[in-house]
Structure 1
Amino acid sequence: MTREFTGWHMLGIMVVAFGTIIGVNLTLAYKAVQTFPGLETRNSYVASQSFDADRAAQNALGWTLETHLTHTELTLSVTDANGTPITPKVVSATLGRATNVAQDMTPAFTIVNGAMHANVDAGAGYWNLRLVLEADDGTIFRRRIQLTAQ
């Protein structure tokens, strides 16, 4: 006995197919909104007005940063243009994932042998260190450093 393929069968196939597509899209949109880390700046136009001057001031410092991240420790070494280790004031530091803020942490740096060390709980994978330092002359130094926990 063969069954005839009717319009109701086609309607059922279309409802299931498009229902699946719409369901997956809604799920992905929900997950994207839930894990959005937020804005980098409130007003990008205002921030852009001083970008070149800020970058020139940072480059004039001649600082070089070296970072190392393990699962338990973050190490940051800053040297000046002469290669001398320095310890600038840490205005803010955030270690977190690039895609969400759920695992963001604020490292508490201590100075050991001219380098800054912080105990962290970093799982495997990619991390971002968003760093704001201040030089002795008041120049603000900003960097976002991509790290991999080893």
Structure 2
Amino acid sequence: MKTPFTGRKMALVLVAFFGVVMAVNFTMARLAIGNFGGTVVDNSYVAGQAHDEWAEAQQRQDALGWDAGATWRSDGRVEVRITGPDASGLEGRAEHRLRKSEDVALTFVPLGDNLFLSEQAVGEGRWSVRVTAEGPRGGARFLLPLGA
């Protein structure tokens, strides 16, 4: 003999259903807040106004004929190779893309043939390296992705 489906059973089904929904929502919200690294730009309106200035700076840099790439060595140091005219006086800053670590100021030692190695090590994770280089025809700034 089957037992009847009573109001008590319906109440238990509703409580269980909404309990699961709320548990999933709270878990997802907690994970999202825990992984949120901050804003990309503090004020997108102001960043949009600076777009033309950034585009002109990029055109001046392209006219220098330089390109750059960064590699992350196993010892945590950053290797930067610049192609084009001879570069000197590299300095930079490693910024964690998700803001989970403090920025690291980088000083570079020339290894020859436009290859430079940072004296400081960078921790694991996703980093962007901002490098400023000087050369015979001016200077250039690069934003180089680094890490996994």
Q: TM-score range by the shorter chain?
A: 0.7 to 0.9
1:122 to 117, 121, 124: 124
**Aligned amino acid, residue 131 of structure 1:** R
Aligned match of 2:85: 84
Is residue 2:106 matched to residue 1:108? yes
Task: Name structure 1 gaps, 5 residues minimum.
Answer: none
The CA distance in 2 between the partners of 1:135 and 1:55, in whole Å, is: 20
Which of the two has greater strand per residue?
2
What CA RMSD, in Å, does the superposition of the two structures yield over aligned residues?
Answer: 2.9
Q: What is the identity percentage for the equivalent residue pairs of Structure 1 and Structure 2?
A: 24
Q: 1:93 — aligned with what?
A: 93
CA contact (8 A) 1:135 1:141 kept: no
Count of residues in correspondence between the two structures: 139
**TM-score, normalised relative to structure 2:** 0.72
Please report the TM-score for the alignment, with normalisation by the length of structure 1: 0.71
Q: Distance in 1 between matches of 2:67 and 2:25?
A: 44
Aligned to 1:51: 51
Q: 1:147 to 1:107 in 2, by over 3 A?
A: same
Q: Secondary structure at the match of 1:24?
A: helix
Deviation at 1:132, TM superposition (A): 5.4
* Equivalent-residue separation in structure 2 for 1:85 and 1:13 (angstroms): 72
1:95: Cα distance to partner?
A: 4.1
- Aligned position for 1:67: 70
